[in-house]
Amino acid sequence: MKLGVFVSDYALVSDTLSRLSADNLGIILVSNGVYHAFLKEGGKPSPLLDKTAKLYALTEDIETRGLKTGDIDGRVKTVNYGELVDLIFNDYEKLAWL
C-alpha cells in the first residue's frame, strides 16, 4: 500500500507513525508540522526525520511562518500546492492526517 501521512503539528508523532505499515510511506509536513524540518532540540533534528519515508514540506506553510526553504533539512523536499495535489493523486493510494 502507498500511504501519505499529513503531519500538521510539531507534537511528536513518531509513536503513531511507527505503527503504520506501508510499502511506500510519504510524510507531508503542513501547517506547524513544517517545524520538524527546521527546529533542533538539544542539537538533534526531529526524530520524525529519521523515519524510512519520503519527506515533504509545503512551501507556502514554510514561508507563512517566516522560515526560508534554503534552511530546510536536506532529507525534506519542498513542494508547492500544485505538486502536493500531484502527490495526492499520483503517488499515494491512501491518506491519513496526524
> What pLDDT was estimated at residue 90?
93
User: Largest Cα–Cα distance of the chain, in whole Å?
Assistant: 38
> What pLDDT was estimated at residue 63?
96
Q: Is the pLDDT of residue 15 over 80?
A: no
Q: Is the pLDDT of residue 36 over 90?
A: yes
Q: Is the pLDDT of residue 13 over 80?
A: no
Mean pLDDT of 62-82: 94
> What pLDDT was estimated at residue 92?
92
CA 27 to chain centre: 4
CB 63 within 8 Å of CB 41:
no
pTM (predicted TM-score): 0.91
> What pLDDT was estimated at residue 1?
86
The pLDDT confidence band at residue 68, using thresholds 50, 70 and 90, is very high
> What pLDDT was estimated at residue 40?
81
Q: Domains (ranges, CATH) in the chain?
A: 2-97 (3.40.1260.10)
Q: What's the grid cell of residue 10?
A: 510539531
